[in-house]
């Protein structure tokens, strides 16, 4: 983290520029509160650090990462949140690893669901085709191939012929 912090400009180049670069650094590296304090302590003079030290009290973390802000990744966000212990304090690299895994699992589940839906549609098409063939052959949906069903007894008005 300290090596990555060396890319920050010096405060002498301007406080506004330093602030913009620091925000960008935090978005890319997601340092923990302790790492950020150590980094600033090394980059600033002791007087400069003392002026902002009270603002650094407490445990800070990035409220909303950029990938979480996109609605399409909402389920990935929740999956990472449940699978990555201490995710708020993790480095971005670790969170990305969990996010990639969660996205792969969700893609697999989506593919399985699509395959299941396609199979259901295929079976429904086969059933409909069989029904059409049966109707075209003169058999209704509840009639077998022999006309009168087997085991049907003659009704009161019908007379059975004897041979």
- Residue 163 scores a pLDDT above 70: no
**E strand or H helix at 28, and its extent?**
helix 15-29
- Residue 153 scores a pLDDT above 80: no
Pull the structure tokens for residue 118: 């396609």
Q: Torsion angle of alpha carbons 116, 120, 122, 124, nearest 10°?
A: 180
Predicted confidence (pLDDT) per residue in 52-107, tens digit: 877 777 666 655 555 555 566 778 888 888 888 887 777 878 888 888 899 899 99
- CB neighbourhood size of 58 (10 A): 7
Q: How confident is the model at residue 117 (pLDDT cuts 50, 70, 90)?
A: very high
**Cα separations in angstroms, 138 against 24, 92, 100, 128, 147:** 75, 68, 57, 16, 9
**E strand or H helix at 129, and its extent?**
helix 92-136
DSSP-derived secondary structure letter, 120: H
- Residue 115 scores a pLDDT above 90: yes
- Residue 111 scores a pLDDT above 90: yes
**In this predicted model, which residue has the larger pLDDT, 162 or 112?**
112
């Amino acid at each position: 983290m300290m090596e990555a912090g060396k890319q920050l400009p010096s405060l002498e180049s301007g406080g506004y520029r330093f602030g913009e670069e620091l925000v960008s650094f935090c978005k890319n590296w997601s340092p923990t509160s302790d790492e950020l304090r150590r980094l600033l302590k090394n980059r600033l003079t002791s007087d400069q650090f003392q002026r902002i030290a009270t603002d650094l009290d407490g445990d800070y973390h990035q409220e909303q990462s950029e990938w979480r802000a996109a609605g399409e990744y909402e389920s990935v966000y929740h999956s990472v949140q449940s699978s990555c212990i201490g995710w708020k304090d993790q480095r971005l690299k670790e969170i990305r690893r969990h996010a990639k895994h969660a996205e792969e699992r969700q893609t697999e589940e989506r593919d399985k669901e699509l395959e299941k839906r396609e199979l259901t549609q295929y079976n429904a098409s086969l059933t409909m085709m069989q029904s059409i063939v049966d109707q075209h052959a003169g058999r209704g949906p509840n009639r077998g191939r022999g006309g009168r069903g087997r085991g049907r007894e003659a009704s009161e008005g019908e007379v059975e012929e004897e041979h």
